[in-house]
Amino acid sequence: MALHRGYLNRAALASPGAAVRFALSSAGYLLLVLGAGVMLIPIFWMVSTSLKPLNEIFSLPVQWWPAEPRWENYANAWNRFPFGRYFTNSIIVSLAVTIINVLLSGFAGFALAKYRFFGKNVLFIAILATLMLPIEVLMVPTFLIVKELNWLNTYQGLIIPAAADAFGVFLMRQTIIHVPDSLLEAARIDGASEVRIYFQIVLPLLWPAVLTLALFVWRETWDAFVWPLLITSQDALRTVPIGLQRFSEENVTNHNEVMAMSFVAMLPLAILFFIFQRAFIQGIAGTGIKE
């Protein structure tokens, strides 16, 4: 896969001449820096607003940073709706979806890469085809199925349908296919069971792909809005995005509190992103295949 080979942090590839010329065209460079500032303004504005008293939010001239940061906005917002519950739910659901999807995608990828069985190619194509189905097509029938299973307002209703995603199968198959067959056969001669071969031989070779996939699934699940909105109607099961939306539904106009919780909701992704930048970006570059 072309996309997975390119590491973004690789040393600069351009010839020094071009770089020097560009750096020298300082107007262009200045524009690039200004552009970076523009990109950051919305995020900066969110943080700055989250610390303002209400009367400074729309004050003119623009107050870029509050005179006195009001940290209590965070406490007030956190307690306005049960955000402790929402975060716990989001973490439970995201963790469960990530673990289930990575585990089962690995198994399925292993089967498709290293076993021969009747109907394999047809199954692989069918699995890939599910990636094309937009949520608009799936949400009504999936909602009905989940309702039929009595899974509305349950964790399994939030977790299991979300774990059914084929992107990981594709990613794992593409990775496992490069594991040499001789390794597996050597293990078979030594009498290792197939399950042990997967966990002790294949999986240790996969961890960069596993990390990429885990971050990708975590991000998608933490982001999920429509599905949790459809199947939860109780605070006990609501996730963070649904909690944020409640500010709008209940017409809370304390923008400082909305921005405070928005910022907190972003942190679990932002922190992971700063730790695993490379794997994270690869997952995003790989989304191209998912669509």
Partner 1 sequence: MSSVIVRPDAAPELPPRARPLPRVLFRPVARHHLWGYVFLAPMLLLLLTFKLVPMVQAFRLSLTSYDLLTPPRFVGFDNYIGLMSDTRFIKSVGVTLYYTFGTCVPIWFISLGLALIFNMALPGRNYLRLAYFLPTIVPIVVFGMIWKFLFHPYGLLNVGIESVGLPPVDWLTSSAAVIPGFILSSEWRFAPYFMVVYLAGLQNIPQELKEAASIDGANARQRFWYIVLPLLRPTILLVVVVSVIMASKAFTNVLVISGGGPNGASTVIGLYIYQQAFQFFKMGVASAASMLLLLGIMLLTLFQMWIFRDAQPE
Interface positions, 177-196, toward partner 1 (CB under 8 A): 181, 185, 188-189, 194
Binding positions for partner 1, 50-89, rule CB under 8 A? 58, 60, 62
Among 17-25, 71-79, 81-89, 91-99, the segment contacting partner 1 (CB under 8 A): 17-25
Contact flag: residue 24 with partner 1 (CB under 8 A): no
Contact flag: residue 284 with partner 1 (CB under 8 A): yes
Q: How far is the CB of 163 from partner 1 (least distance, A)?
A: 6
Contact flag: residue 157 with partner 1 (CB under 8 A): no
Q: How far is the CB of 6 from partner 1 (least distance, A)?
A: 4
Q: Is 15 helix (H, G, I), strand (E, B) or coil?
A: coil
Binding positions for partner 1, 204-263, rule CB under 8 A? 219, 222-223, 225-226, 230, 240-241, 244-245, 247-248, 255, 258-259, 262-263
Both tokens of 144, joined, read 């009905």
Contact flag: residue 104 with partner 1 (CB under 8 A): yes
Q: How far is the CB of 146 from partner 1 (least distance, A)?
A: 9
Cis peptide preceding 208, ω within 30 of 0? no
Q: Which are the contacts of 187, defined by CB distance < 8 A and separation ≥ 6?
A: 196, 197, 200, 201
C-alpha distances in angstroms, 288 versus 3, 4, 52, 283?
A: 8, 11, 39, 9
Phi/psi at 251 (5° precision): 55, 40
Q: How far is the CB of 51 from partner 1 (least distance, A)?
A: 14
Cβ atoms 86, 237 nearer than 8 A: no
Contact flag: residue 123 with partner 1 (CB under 8 A): yes
Nearest to 50 by CA among 78, 27, 30, 22: 78
